[in-house]
Structure 1
Amino acid sequence: MLTWTTISSPLGELMLMATESGIVRVAFEREGFDAVRERVAGNLGVGLVEDSAPFAKAQSQLDAYLSAARRGFDLPLDWSLTSGFHGEVERLLPSIPYGETLTYSRLAALAGRPKAHRAAASACARNPLPILVPCHRVTRSDGGLGGYLGGIDAKRFLLDLEKGKSR
């Protein structure tokens, strides 16, 4: 069974989805919640139930993080939507320290494939757990922000939040 809820945040509405193993997907409203629910349920071959109760801890931690009162998350995650090199890259993302960034090239090197910067960028773009798994901390080597599932404004917000810049 796949449980889901939506929560309000400074980044707009977010949808959280979880299996019995943990949170499996965080989605931004701009992705289209109906389409995301349908895709995830189809990929996992499970039914959907809306229920906010299982997400109380996640909402509390997200609220604290997005108000700069928390630097990380202590939540069970379900990595079912990741595999291969993308999965390897995504599992490295939590090791990037709060308030710091690294480049897609450096991330690829850390994953053992130094020339695979485009694949590392693709892994970040497809990260099913944005915010919780901080792909926003990865930038282009020319200093540009690169893309972000929640949009560039959301990425800039998260980076500024972590650097202690006023919002």
Structure 2
Amino acid sequence: MQFHSFTVQARADTPLGPVRLAASPNGLSGVWFEGQRHEPSAHLYGSEAWALAPGDHPVLQEVAHQLQQYLGGQRQHFDLPLDLSGGTAFQQSVWRALLQIGRGQTISYGMLGRQLGNPSAVRAVGAAVGRNPLSVVVPCHRVLGADGSLTGYAGGLDRKRALLTLENAPLLAAAAHPMKATA
């Protein structure tokens, strides 16, 4: 992924754990749970890390506030300027399609590929969903396996389950309670 050279970052605590937030001059460009798969670690930690944003950075302050409201059940959707330019054209098309999945709704990777006009691109769609840089805000957690199973959330399946439960999304019994699944 390519990020704007003037990207800044901040850290925020949420009910699902700490997140790293990133913003470019064009808008919100990153929301990653700390340690999340595919996070741009070199940009978030260490000597090459993005600069820390001032505490009054308007986009990062607002996303932290909206995340608290959303995860607390007081907000139904996000209203933020987004910068999706870090991804390829294909990734951006997948991420824009994710924004069209309503709260409480789910879709399979295959159906998402069909909606994008590329039904044979299930793996490519899955890879693009997995590399979504805006966890929760761009709702990649709403994508399920073909059989409705919880699969592949870079922030962890427990968080995916918690987000879908918060949104009252229908879950299969085995997905909602994996220990109760029968062979």
TM-score, structure 2 normalization: 0.80
Give the conservation status (yes or no) of the 8 Å contact 1:4–1:52: no
Whole-Å separation in 2 of the counterparts to 1:66 and 1:38: 23
1:19 to 19, 24, 35: 24
Which of 97, 105, 108 is 1:103 aligned to? 108
Give, in whole Å, the separation in 1 of the partners of 2:9 and 2:82: 14
Aligned runs of 1:39-78 on 2, under 5 Å? Answer: 48-54=51-57, 55-78=60-83
- In the comparison of the two structures, how many residue pairs are matched? 161
Identity %: 38
User: Which residue is equivalent to 2:87?
Assistant: 82
Whole-angstrom distance in 2 between the partners of 1:163 and 1:106: 21
What residue number does 1:125 align with? 130
Larger Rg: 2
2:117 aligns with 112
- Give RMSD over aligned pairs: 2.4
- Cα distance between partner residues in 2 of 1:36 and 1:142: 36
Equivalent in the alignment of 2:173 = none
Unpaired stretches in structure 2, ≥5 consecutive residues: 1-5, 171-183
Supply the AA of the counterpart residue of 2:33: F
Q: Look up the match of 2:43.
A: 37
- Name whichever of 81-90 and 152-161 sits farther off: 81-90
Gaps in structure 1 of 5+ consecutive residues: none
TM-score (norm 1): 0.88
Q: Shift of the alpha carbon at 1:50?
A: 3.3
